[in-house]
Amino acid sequence: MELVLALAIGVLVGSGVWLLLRPRTFQVIIGLSLLSYAVNLFILAAGRLRTHAPPVVERGVAAAAASHVDPLPQALVLTAIVISFATTALLLVVLLAVRGLTGTDHVDGRDDEA
């Protein structure tokens, strides 16, 4: 499970960085989204990968740190998903406004010159 998650994070980071270096603004926005997904997976993995483990300590049960999952990374990822969705929506609106003003969707505002 850890190897699959590490490979997924690596692929998302590599794809995100590659898209960030592209000249079109839509590709840059998609690259930022992929990087945010990679960071979310990394934060989730930092909270230990355990299945069927309770996230909180129950009353009357002896608390052992190894038998529970940390709920903080899950809460951070949930918050980050909402923030990244709002940021992506804002960037898409800005992309449409800039496209309308300049007539191009290049990051530097100029078309490719051959």
The residue among 82 and 61 whose pLDDT is bigger is: 82
The answer on pLDDT for 53 being more than 70 is no
- Class for domain 2-50+69-102, per CATH? mainly alpha
The answer on pLDDT for 40 being more than 50 is yes
Spell out the domain ranges in the chain.
Answer: 2-50+69-102
How large is the average pLDDT for residues 35-59?
A: 80
Angle (deg, nearest 10), helices 25-46 and 71-102 = 180
Query: Can you spell out the DSSP letters for 11-79?
Result: HHHHHHHHHHTSSBHHHHHHHHHHHHHHHHHHHHHHT---SS--SSPPTTS---GGGS--HHHHHHHHH
**pLDDT at residue 68, rounded to an integer:** 67
- pTM for the structure as a whole: 0.77
- Of 39-48, 56-65, 86-95, the range with the lowest mean pLDDT is 56-65
